[in-house]
A and B are shown apart, each in its own frame.
Chain A
């Protein structure tokens, strides 16, 4: 463990190609697995939330129970956030902007298109726009027929079904407002440098042979240190049993060669499970594809191994800034600064000891 402090403290922060070996597993461990959550195809059905609860027997989550029917009142999201009893959380953002101020993602004009070149200035959704009572239809690209069944084994790309006017996500027309819905299934990031794991004083949190981060419930003593140490606000202590809980990336299913329950249940393949390197390649390709289609606001989150947590095992493709989905824009693992903190505390301790001795200076007056 002390090696963490020798050398460049590489295992506390920075890129780390193989956290599993770094955690002490022998070299022939399985490859690191993870999730690529492509929010551009998420439909907010919450099948992942349900599947996770069912498979892992996660109990009722008392979040916001003060509300009648547990409604948060902010959107269709009544789970609220990740927590001890919510290991998947589908964020639902109803993004409302004044008419005409929309970005391409709102169904507004794509960049570079002068607004006055469009009859209405704005074409919400795939619906025909109505101009002075005369319907005008947006120009449709060729393979746009949603009714055409995909060939067996082939998947439908919902984005390809949207009109060329740059509408991404699901929109609704309104007289004064532009509305788009963003949906994203959030989960533990299984960080390369996991703050929760670093600070756990009992060793209950550990890195598995798959490179994931898991709590051993029979070891955890509910000290709660992991809770404020997660830069994403994922792990929490459950009130009734006093233990810390979070996504295990279905450790039990991985051992049996099955994919995690949430990924299995996802009907749109928004949650993709697999070896991390393959997922990263798939994500890069998907991002390039979306950018090529003018979805310039698409970006990957947690993909970069150079970021503050050394990259995430579960990373995302988002259509807006991370904070809009309730995620920190640029998290840094707290233990990156720990060597300096220990140094400061040690120096201060020496100073405190010296102050006590100095208080006795000069003998008796």
Chain B
């Protein structure tokens, strides 16, 4: 920003930085946003206060929902194809993980509501403009089919029907794994919104790492090749896309460089890398395969927590709103050659 008013107006610069009252130092936002982060880039704001409202979504409910949804999404595919290709332990793991992930995710999704008893109000409309509405309509049938498949798996009854419903769940699965990226990026939170091209890929990689990791934990060495492949591919994609996203965000990526989001993302990358290496080298041993699988799942979950935290920090930072929007105005004026803005600082 060229709005270098800090030097010209030391009083205001001081007010901006010192008189800051981070929203919700008490109450529900405690622990979810870091101290208000005013970067060195110069910008003006209303006493450094946040401009948009940070999400009131609960932590850990929402990150866990994203993780379990991703886990269930790819597990359903591994289960269905594992059954079709005669890998009984992979089939069983995939089916049970899909059902458990969907059920757990639903519990967290409902618990996240501030009026959980009205969960069913989500089903009174279908709104393509609301990713949460679309997601509920993805999750509900998926959970139903996955649960039916798992029931058939556990009881040994209605095997044909179980196979069929497992196949349906496997087809719905990928949508469950990627829609959550739209859920986050379709907000005014700058770090989420501006990542709307990369976030689905990060989340898809994360879903593959989680489901594949689960397969490594649960399937026998004889059956776990597809799980290992999927998990490694997922981890690689997640690492690469995550890195790309952080770079491309530029100024908005600073929330990934500091605070809790930074710690979480670092831990996530370490887990993913270790898990991927372990899956390649140690797939043939039951214990090392299971350990790698756990690391991959942990890496996937940590990514969700990291992205969630980064969004909270971004929403609380007025610079994330003002600086990019001012830059947009400046660029438009540069291209059109007009200076429509009133001369605020031509005097000073």
Of the stretches A262-270, A276-284, A346-354, the one at the interface is A346-354
A359-B226 contact given A80-B49, A102-B347, CB 8 Å threshold: yes
CB-CB contacts of B152-177 with A at 8 A, as 1s and 0s? 00000000000000000011011101
Query: Is the Cβ of B28 less than 8 Å from the Cβ of A242?
Result: no
**Closest beta carbon of chain A to B109's beta carbon, Å:** 9
A340-B196 contact given A323-B322, A345-B179, CB 8 Å threshold: yes
Cβ of B293 under 8 Å from chain A: no
Residues of B within 8 A of A323 (CB): 43-46, 51, 318, 321-322, 326
Cβ of B81 under 8 Å from chain A: yes
**Contact pick for A360, options B19, B85, B208, B341, CB 8 Å:** B85
Residues of A within 8 A of B318 (CB): 323
CB-CB contacts of B5-18 with A at 8 A, as 1s and 0s? 00011111001000
Complex CA distance for A184 and B234, rounded to whole angstroms: 51
Residues of B within 8 A of A80 (CB): 21, 23, 49
Residues of B within 8 A of A232 (CB): 51-52
Complex CA distance for A296 and B347, rounded to whole angstroms: 11
Question: Count of B residues near A, CB < 8 Å?
Answer: 104
Complex CA distance for A66 and B21, rounded to whole angstroms: 11
Query: Is the Cβ of B81 less than 8 Å from the Cβ of A360?
Result: yes
A1-B127 contact given A202-B121, A221-B122, A233-B52, CB 8 Å threshold: yes
Query: Is the Cβ of B53 less than 8 Å from the Cβ of A228?
Result: yes
**Contact pick for A74, options B47, B51, B181, B234, CB 8 Å:** B47
- By CB atoms of chain B within 10 A, which of A66, A223, A233 has the most? A223
Cβ of B38 under 8 Å from chain A: no
Of the stretches B184-192, B252-260, B263-271, the one at the interface is B184-192
Cβ of B334 under 8 Å from chain A: no
Cβ of A220 under 8 Å from chain B: yes
Query: Is the Cβ of B193 less than 8 Å from the Cβ of A199?
Result: no
Cβ of A145 under 8 Å from chain B: no
Query: Is the Cβ of A228 less than 8 Å from the Cβ of B52?
Result: yes
Cβ of B182 under 8 Å from chain A: yes
Complex: chain B residue closest to A338, CB-CB: B186
Cβ of A355 under 8 Å from chain B: yes
A350-B174 contact given A73-B19, A232-B52, A236-B53, CB 8 Å threshold: yes
**Contact pick for B230, options A12, A344, A356, CB 8 Å:** A356
Query: Is the Cβ of B56 less than 8 Å from the Cβ of A297?
Result: no
Interface residues on A, range: 35 or more
Complex CA distance for A344 and B227, rounded to whole angstroms: 25
Residues of A within 8 A of B136 (CB): 201
Residues of A within 8 A of B53 (CB): 83, 227-228, 230, 233-236
Residues of A within 8 A of B8 (CB): 97-98, 101
Complex CA distance for A365 and B122, rounded to whole angstroms: 46
Query: Is the Cβ of B127 less than 8 Å from the Cβ of A97?
Result: no
CB-CB contacts of B203-223 with A at 8 A, as 1s and 0s? 110011001100000000000
**Closest beta carbon of chain A to B35's beta carbon, Å:** 14
- By CB atoms of chain B within 10 A, which of A64, A225, A243, A356 has the most? A356
Of the stretches A40-48, A103-111, A131-139, the one at the interface is A103-111
Cβ of B132 under 8 Å from chain A: yes
Query: Is the Cβ of A352 less than 8 Å from the Cβ of B45?
Result: no
| Residue positions of A touching B, CB distance < 8 A | 1-2, 4-5, 12, 62, 64-66, 72-75, 80-81, 83, 91, 93, 95-98, 101-104, 108, 111, 177, 195, 198-204, 219-225, 227-237, 239, 242-243, 296-299, 320-321, 323-331, 334-335, 337-338, 340-342, 344-346, 348-353, 355-360, 363-365
Since A219-B124, A233-B188, A323-B321 are in contact, a sample of 5 more A-B pairs with Cβ atoms closer than 8 Å, ordered by chain A residue number, is A64-B21, A200-B127, A221-B115, A341-B131, A356-B81
Could you show 28 A-B contacts with beta carbons less than 8 Å apart?
Answer: A1-B129, A4-B128, A62-B27, A73-B19, A74-B19, A103-B348, A203-B124, A219-B121, A221-B116, A233-B52, A236-B53, A297-B343, A325-B46, A328-B51, A330-B325, A331-B325, A335-B129, A341-B131, A341-B182, A341-B196, A344-B181, A348-B181, A348-B200, A352-B177, A353-B77, A353-B171, A356-B173, A360-B85
